Amino acid sequence: MNIDIILTHALVTALHEVYEADIDSSSIQIQETRKEFEGDKTIVVFPYVKIARKSPEQTATEIGNYLQEHVSEIESFNVVKGFLNLSISPAYWIQNLQQSLSKGEQYGFTAVSSDSQTIMVEYSSPNTNKPLHLGHIRNNLLGYALAQILSANGYRVIKANLINDRGIHICKSMLAWKLFGNNETPESSGLKGDHLIGKYYVLFDKKHKKQIQELISQGSSEEHAKNDAPLMQAAREMLVKWESGDAETVSLWKTMNEWVYKGFNETYSRMGVSFDKMYYESQTYLLGKKIILDGLDKGILYKKEDGSVWADLTKEGLDHKLLLRPDGTSVYMTQDIGTAVERFREFGNMKELIYVVGNEQNYHFQVLSIILSKLGYEWAEKIYHMSYGMVELPAGKMKSREGTVVDADDLMEEMKETATTISNDLGKLESLTVNEKEQTFEMIAQAALKYFILKVEPRKTMMFNPKESIDFNGNTGPFIQYTHARICSVLRKADEQGITIPATFLVSTYSEKERELIKMIAKYQEIISLAGKEHAPSHIANYTYDLVKAFNQFYHECSILNEEDSAIQQFRLGLSKQVATIIASAMKLLGINVPERM
């Protein structure tokens, strides 16, 4: 049993027996003992001073005496003011290690059952007018990792992707291709479909800006010039045609979208992310429009003289929100309303609908929840926006329209090239075959990229530095991979020498480094739970790095295969094996593979 649970139950009994007081176990605070003090677990006793009617030190001492006498897992205790520091017996930690070994790859996980609650995680949500870029990479990695972590916490998780396949931005690339494309295709250009469409999105922006400057030079204001430019007017006309079902426009839209989808799938495959459910705005916006019009009929929403439909959010401390344009076309909010309603109709009473979207959309999701609530959907409070900070570069923010983004495909290829160069320079993979090397180079590159991004707390804006991410000695994915490979090497050598790991260890004590490592292993399930509750994969990443650091300290101070005492040798081998299992498990939660040879 988890030591925190044992201590909580024991403390409830102690307070009843010693002070005739009954307390709620949820009020008990059990912490890790600070490193400067002796002990493993610390109980804060200040809340019980009034019950005991004694000083904090006396209260802690009396509780400590009771616990040491009645709880076999407690070896000793010490008191520092109102803090009771408990030292847990080696027998408990050794048994805990044995139990974790017996669970194998499922250690730390809560199994999904028929009673498991459902959570949907929406991530990626690309526009079909451009390829995925560095910002999308952070989105995909966070969403996929969060889905994995929630599943490890026992939830039934649906990984969803909403494709933004309609709207004025899509019409911009369509129009540019129609006007300037000369029937260019992915096959004729040699470009991935998403890259080809992105090329015309950038071209539209360049042509549009040129028209804006021409109108300004003729005396128009910048605002009027942006709206009156012929290209923008033509894009709006194309959007109206699309929504009215114009055959030629819809046919072009389908053709160009198929090019993009094929390109997206190649990128997703290399990135190692996947989805259980695909939604398309082109299929949900009509439901959104119907819901908005129903809300208008009920007086929940209102219409302006120009025919546009709005929501009044001033009572909620916000402004007025546009939901339908004067020409009847929908906006993002309309589409998201329709999609949310469809999801809860399809999957029933979900525990949570999580949107993994950048913090630039904080207002959008605040408004989405409010409007759905106004429209009478009780589940609106279950919407959670996993807001994350933007990924920045030394040159500043990325701008898709101007073609200054860091393309996801190019970045992944650059990462592989860098991983190849560094690995070859260090002679890390000399013993592998050519095919094994290629696979490992890709594995290292993906680990470098993913870990560097996921180790950062999601809400923080981050600076991505490709060179820093590939370092075999720092807080990086490759460093963690190398440690895993080192342990696998030890395990292979042990197997060759006929050294096995017994079901029951015969040691009764251990060194300080071994103790710290076992304690870290015992924390794994707690970390998985914390990462799920806080929607923060960074907890998994940083825990894994700390575990690897602790193992390397143990590895340098404690001999394994050369240890003469067979009981200690087997114990250290088992300890090493469980560290390797957790490294592989934790990294898999982050979507990262770990090689057995490096």
* CA separation for the pair 583, 447 (Å, rounded): 13
> For 123-392, CATH number?
3.40.50.620
Report the phi/psi class of residue 511: left, alpha or beta, with left for phi > 0 and alpha for psi in -120 to 50.
Answer: beta
Work out the number of other CB atoms within 10 angstroms of the CB of residue 480. 25
| pLDDT tens figures, 445-475 | 999 999 999 999 999 999 888 778 888 888 9
Which residue, 122, 486, 445, is CA-closest to 278? 122
Residue 391 has a pLDDT of: 87
Which residue, 540, 512, 510, 514, is CA-closest to 525? 540
Is residue 344 within 8 A of residue 379, CB to CB? The reply is yes
- Token representation of residue 331: 């906006």
Residue 75 has a pLDDT of: 95
Is residue 121 within 8 A of residue 159, CB to CB? The reply is yes
Work out the number of other CB atoms within 10 angstroms of the CB of residue 403. 16
The verdict on domain 408-589 having CATH code 1.10.730.10 is: yes
Amino acid at 10: A
Is residue 560 within 8 A of residue 490, CB to CB? The reply is yes
Query: Which residues on neighbouring strands pair with residue 158, listed in sequence order?
Result: 120
434-454 and 408-426 helices, crossing angle to 10°: 120
Strand order across the 309-312 sheet: 302-303, 309-312, 320-324
Is residue 157 within 8 A of residue 150, CB to CB? The reply is yes
* CA separation for the pair 307, 313 (Å, rounded): 19
Residue 557: phi and psi, rounded to 5, are -105, -20
Say whether 408-589 and 3-88 share the same fold: no
Alpha helices in 351-399 (DSSP H): 362-374
Domain spans in the chain, listed from the N-terminal domain onward: 3-88, 123-392, 408-589
**502-526 burial, b for 16+ CB within 10 Å, e for fewer?**
eeebebeebeebbbbbbbbbbbbbe
Q: Kindly tell me the burial class for residue 496, based on how many C-beta atoms sit within 10 Å of its own C-beta (0-12, 13-18, 19 or more).
A: exposed
Query: Which residues on neighbouring strands pair with residue 310, listed in sequence order?
Result: 302, 322
Contacts of 505-510 with CB under 8 Å at 24 or more apart are: 505/94, 505/97, 505/98, 505/567, 505/570, 505/571, 505/574, 506/567, 506/570, 506/571, 507/94, 507/567, 507/568, 507/571, 508/90, 508/91, 508/94, 509/90, 510/90, 510/93, 510/94, 510/571
CATH superfamily of 3-88: Arginyl tRNA synthetase N-terminal domain (3.30.1360.70)
Query: Which residues on neighbouring strands pair with residue 324, listed in sequence order?
Result: 309, 330
Work out the number of other CB atoms within 10 angstroms of the CB of residue 420. 19
Residue 401 has a pLDDT of: 46
Report strand pairing: 74-80 vs 302-303: unpaired
Q: Which stretches of the chain score pLDDT less than 70?
A: 393-405
Residue 342 has a pLDDT of: 94
Query: Which residues on neighbouring strands pair with residue 160, listed in sequence order?
Result: 122, 277
* CA separation for the pair 129, 256 (Å, rounded): 9
Report strand pairing: 320-324 vs 391-392: unpaired
Residue 398 has a pLDDT of: 41
* CA separation for the pair 425, 418 (Å, rounded): 11
Query: Which residues on neighbouring strands pair with residue 61, listed in sequence order?
Result: none
* CA separation for the pair 2, 129 (Å, rounded): 51
pTM more than 0.75: yes
Q: Which residue has the tokens 């300290």?
A: 553
Angle at 468 between CA 465 and CA 473, to 5 degrees: 160
Residue 355: phi and psi, rounded to 5, are -105, 115
Angle at 304 between CA 302 and CA 309, to 5 degrees: 50
| CA distance readout (Å), 368 to 169, 334, 382 | 21, 9, 12
